[in-house]
Amino acid sequence: MDIAGLSIAMSAISTQNAYGVAMLGKSLDQVSSMGDQITEMMDTAGMELSVNPNIGANIDIRV
């Protein structure tokens, strides 16, 4: 392989690696945001139980 071809191949690999790292960073940000939202929902559910402690205590099941 000549030097020009090797240079082009190395540049393509570098670009692909940079793209992969950028996509992983965006995925990490999204997962972090979803975790924050889940934590907020759990806090909201806890608040509901503190206001109405009997909600959800009994389940009626009929077969």
CB within 8 A of 55, min separation 6: which ones?
Answer: 48, 49
Whether residue 20 has pLDDT greater than 80: yes
In degrees, rounded to 5, the angle at the alpha carbon of residue 13 between the alpha carbons of residues 8 and 2 is 30
Longest dimension (CA), the chain: 77
Read off the pLDDT of each residue in 34-55 and give the average, rounded to a whole number.
Answer: 75
| Residue 57: predicted pLDDT | 73
Q: Are 48 and 55 in contact (CB under 8 A)?
A: yes
| Reported pTM | 0.55
State the virtual CA torsion across 4, 7, 9, 13 in degrees, nearest 10.
Answer: -170
Mean pLDDT across the stretch 11-32?
95
